[in-house]
Amino acid sequence: MNSRRDFFKTAGIAGGAIAAAAVSRVAMAALPEPVLQTKSDTMPPLVPNTGRPYNAVVTLNGWTLPWRMNQGVKEFHLVAEPVVREMAPGMKAHLWGYNGQSPGPTIEVVEGDRVRIFVTNKLPEHTSVHWHGQRLPNGMDGVTGLNQPGINPGKTFVYEFVARRPGTFMYHPHADEMTQMAMGMMGFWVTHPKEKNPLIDEVQRDFCFLLNAYDIDPGSYTPKIMTMLDFNLWTWNSRIFPGIDSLNVRLNDKVRIRFGNLTMTNHPIHLHGHEFQVTGTDGGPTPKGSRWPEVTTDVAVGQMRQIEFVADEEGDWAFHCHKSHHTMNAMGHDVPTMIGVDHRGVAKKISNLIPDYMVMGERGMADMGEMEMPLPDNTAPMMTGQGPFGGVEMGGMFSVLKVRKEQKPGNYENPDWYKHPPGTVAFEWTGSMPEPARFKAESGQSMPLAKPSKKDIEVQIRKPSGHAGH
């Protein structure tokens, strides 16, 4: 993670460059200077130095957009533009986003703030911005053709409204949406409460990220935009594990995590080692009486979920989408399952025909994470990430919640792996192995079969191939 100072240095240089290139100096004098981010690091919280104070959020592998105060109005400048996003070390994607990154920067304001957002379009086609979930004047809602004309390439539009209710929101285009969202145009918006709100607890850590998905062929850089279901990169803030930063907290911190789903399928988000409550949706904070403990919460398409818990168990806790295909990276789809099949000799014949072909292991797929498979350039390894005990067989929507006694308040740096107290790690049994006691009776059934079969039928389980329906 970079220091605040580095951030502004980077931002200043990049902002100057874009100003000179995009709009004339006279026009720029009235516009807030756009701030660019060139890295995919998780930036520290942007502590407000003007306006009402609040407890700033941390965007996973992202950042918060600085603003300027102009006669009591908070002014932001978003630039819609093609960007290069590092999705994981070794893999870059050519996406569309805002201010140098996809997703765009998080916008943080306070309930009651009057907000003015300048949106400059540097894309090759028109765009608009819809402020998902906000109460605002109809003409500011951003649906091209319905609420406003499209923002043509090279043009800047101004949106202005009062952030009327506290909560978590998203922003994304409502113009050629299929293309622009598939290319990564989206961002997070947090409206902090202006005073103590009985439904909004104070927390020590407040994280946010967007769930998104891409279809990028191994070896290529640009997402395919026609894909509806068969995505091969399941991302948090356009990053894939092991490229997603861990969520680092201090023992007994109250933690809030906000995530919004702008993919085309649902994601059951699962946290290990703790129970959480859903304390908010994109409709606002949930009534206290409606909350119950969970370890998994499903986020449907277009929804946001805000979870809260006390991080009172030390350790490195997995935090991931529970759809197993969403914790894998780009792979050869539609390959048959080879579990239990003796394919000695076959793999070599196939790889002579198709050089990059990967044969699913006959003992399952775990071997593949460890094998040094030759992959085309710019391809995310299928399952990677090295933990303290070996390879973590995950990809995609996976991260780690690190709970540490030693983590300083307000410090988000990544600590070393958890040091387990002696005797608290699962271990290999080396004693003798007794014969299993088998249950002797016939298997039960609710009624006798009308036509009992002559011989036993044994079925082989075969993993479904293909990715239809997710």
Q: How far is the CB of 467 from Cu ion (least distance, A)?
A: 12
434 alpha-carbon distance from chain centroid: 46
Are 287 and 261 a contacting pair, CB within 8 Å?
Answer: no
Please state the closest distance from residue 44 (CB atom) to Cu ion, in A.
Answer: 28
Can you spell out the DSSP letters for 84-139?
A: EEEEETTEEEEEEEETTBSS--BEEEETT-EEEEEEEE-SSS-B--EEET----GG
Q: Which is nearer to Cu ion, 84 or 318 (CB)?
A: 318
> CA angle 379-384-388, nearest 5°?
155
CB of 234 to Cu ion, least distance (A): 6
Question: Residues in the site for Cu ion, rule: CB under 5 A?
Answer: 267, 321, 323, 326
Our CB check for Cu ion shows the closer of 63 and 236 to be 236
Q: How far is the CB of 305 from Cu ion (least distance, A)?
A: 13
In the bound state with Cu ion, the residue whose beta carbon lies nearer, of 34 and 395, is 395
Which one, 128 or 212, has the nearer CB to Cu ion?
212
Burial class of residue 256, CB neighbours in 10 A (0-12, 13-18, 19+): buried
C-alpha pair distances (Å), 136 with each of 55, 152, 156: 24, 23, 20
Q: How far is the CB of 257 from Cu ion (least distance, A)?
A: 15
CB closer to Cu ion out of 130 and 267: 267
Toward Cu ion, which CB reaches closer, 224 or 323? 323
d(CA 446, CA 337): 34
Distance between CA 82 and CA 94 in Å, rounded? 7
Q: Does residue 215 contact residue 223 with C-beta atoms inside 8 Å?
A: yes
Q: How far apart are CA 361 and CA 368, in angstroms?
A: 7
Distance CA 215, CA 231 (A): 5
Q: Shortest approach of Cu ion to residue 267 CB, angstroms? A: 3
Please report how close the Cβ of residue 182 comes to Cu ion at its closest, in angstroms: 17
- What is the Cα–Cα distance from 214 to 96, expressed in whole angstroms? 12
Minimum distance, C-beta of residue 60 to Cu ion, in the bound complex (Å) = 16
Is the Cβ of residue 328 or residue 368 nearer to Cu ion in the bound state? Answer: 328
Which helix (H) or strand (E) covers residue 352, if one does?
helix 346-353
DSSP codes, 359-400: PPPBTBSHHHHHS-----TT---SSEEEETTEEEEE-BSEEE
Q: How far apart are CA 244 and CA 379, in angstroms?
A: 16
The dihedral through the CA atoms of 350, 355, 360, 363 has a sign that is positive
Smallest distance, Å, CB 284 to Cu ion?
A: 25
Angle at 320 between CA 390 and CA 183, to 5 degrees: 110
Measure the CA–CA gap between 60 and 208, rounded to whole angstroms: 6
Task: Provide the minimum distance between the beta carbon of 145 and Cu ion in the complex, in angstroms, as a whole number.
Answer: 32
Tokens for 261, please give them. Answer: 């789903």
Judged by CB, which is closer to Cu ion: 92, or 323?
323
Identity of the residue, 249 or 392, whose beta carbon is nearer to Cu ion in the bound complex: 392
Q: Which is nearer to Cu ion, 152 or 324 (CB)?
A: 324
**C-beta of 174 vs 320, nearer to Cu ion:** 320
Taking the complex as a whole, how short is the minimal distance between the CB of residue 323 and Cu ion, in angstroms?
4
Tokens read off for 248: 């680092």
In whole angstroms, give the CA distance from residue 223 to residue 26: 37
* Residue among 236 and 412 whose Cβ is closer to Cu ion: 236
Nearest to 39 by CA among 22, 71, 63: 63
* Minimum distance of Cu ion from residue 320's CB (angstroms): 8
The residues with which 308 forms a beta bridge, in sequence order, are 256, 277
